[in-house]
Copies of this chain bind each other. A is one copy, B any other.
Amino acid sequence: MAPRAAAIAHVHVTPVAVPDPPLLNAAGCHEPLALRTIVEVEDGAGRVGLGEAYGDDATVAALQAAGRAIVGVDPWALAAIAAAVHDPQVHQAAACSRAAAPALNAPGATRSRARHAYAAIEMACLDLQGQQAQVPVAELLGGRRRDEVPFAAYLFYKFARHAPRDGGSAPPEADAWGEVLTPEAVVREAQAFSREHGFTTFKLKGGVFPPDDEFAAVAALRQTLGPEAPLRWDPNAAWTVETAVRMGERLREIGLEYYEDPCPGMEGMAEVRRRTGLPTATNMCVTSFDQLPDCVRLRPVDYLLTDPHFWGGLRETVRLSAFCQDFGIGVSMHSNTHLGVSLAAMVHVAAAMPHLSAACDTHYPWQRGQDLLRVPWTFRRGCLRVPEAPGLGVTLDRQALARMHAAYLVSGMHGRDDGAEMRRHVPGWDDRRPRW
């Protein structure tokens, strides 16, 4: 393609840190700050496309290298951009330039961080394409199929406050959600999420307490929400197959929309599905297209949890939805801690999916307005409206971006370590999985 005024002129990569509550999961506890990276892909006319990715050193380095590699390329030339971003030499150079990250040279790490980098670059390029052509990203992904995207309440066990940091400062204050460690507190959290955002689907992040203790919370949720409310439980592969089957037998009378990753691996999940008859879901044992033949053969799940950040970008995630439709697999969407650019991408992807059979996950309410958009997202009846403006339809609040970038710089953080954070709360805690 000939050079065009619309070609990529600059790429800005800005890591940011955002306050995060002390949420618990099988890997430990969320730290006081979560890292993300904002990518801005700017064309010659000054239009800026936005992307968002993880904020660990490896992803930042991959994005910086990818950004250098695509200057001068047309933002519509996504195959050329993917080739440039996945070029091992690009990432070799990135790894060599960061003495602090020697582990980045592992081939598997190279592949996955290139995939993560591409997803954010593609996100920004699609936003830019949409602005250039004056169409929303959902249309670029094959066409908007729904005007609203349903989301689920993402319920977590949590501490009341973060642990004191090394150096002996005063303990942080409790956050507004308070401590959530009992069935009663989980129910109160669900009620608050329902009241504030209108969610009607609920998921409990498990794998934190012994399975029977968590079961009491799931049973309390069912009791409160009524027999029809879609309810999920996600122990993040913290259990053995036998534990998952035993809990599955208890769960049958409660009824779950799906049983998400109770144990690791496709074989284990397939066995749990077969022995319990419960619908299962995963974002752990099937996470890439090359696993789909085994997924079809073993049938570990009834639902695949898609995610544009790790399924190879927005387009590939829509393609995954179509695959699931062909093969009779349900589709939902996975979430990590994220900001509003990622949420915009998730909404456009979900709007374009030919097959979306369950409400999407999102951590967004846990950021409680700590976003870098001029207009943060607001849930109505648990749903988000698909933007009709060109591109992703969101605009950066540059002051918020600068503030969050400054927070990143002073944080000294290099990634996410829920285990180390958990040990600040519970000395000697270890991340064994399966734990039960």
Contact = CB atoms under 8 A, between A and B. Distances in A.
Interface stretch (A91-99, A135-143, A157-165, A332-340): A135-143
A328 interface: yes
A298 interface: no
Nearest to A313: B142
Interface stretch (A76-84, A180-188, A371-379, A426-434): A76-84
A154 to B, nearest CB: 28
A150 to B, nearest CB: 18
A411 interface: no
Interface string A109-151: 0000000000000000000010011111001101111000000
Contacts of A296: 293, 296
**A interface secondary structure, majority:** helix
Contact of A77 (B133, B143, B322, B323): B143
Contacts of A327: 292-293
A132 B327 CA distance: 36
Contacts of A319: 319, 322
A2 interface: yes
B388 A2 contact: yes
Interface of A: 1-2, 4, 6, 74, 76-82, 129, 132-136, 139-140, 142-145, 289-290, 292-293, 296, 315, 319, 322-323, 326-328, 352, 388
A323 to B, nearest CB: 7
B293 A140 contact: no
19 contacts: A1-B135, A1-B388, A4-B134, A6-B134, A76-B140, A77-B143, A78-B143, A80-B143, A80-B144, A82-B143, A129-B133, A132-B133, A133-B133, A292-B327, A293-B296, A293-B326, A293-B327, A293-B328, A323-B323
A134 B142 CA distance: 18
Task: Please state the number of chain copies in the assembly.
Answer: 2
Contact of A326 (B80, B133, B142, B292): B292
A142 B81 CA distance: 11
Contact of A135 (B74, B139, B315): B74
A291 to B, nearest CB: 9
A296 B327 CA distance: 10
A144 B77 contact: yes
Contact of A1 (B139, B290, B323): B139
A388 B76 CA distance: 13
A145 B327 CA distance: 27
Given A74-B135, A135-B74, A143 B292 contact: no
A6 B134 CA distance: 10
Contacts of A328: 293
A139 B76 contact: yes
Nearest to A130: B76
A74 B138 CA distance: 13
Given A74-B135, A80-B143, A81-B143, 9 more contacts: A4-B134, A76-B133, A79-B145, A133-B133, A289-B326, A292-B326, A293-B296, A293-B326, A319-B319
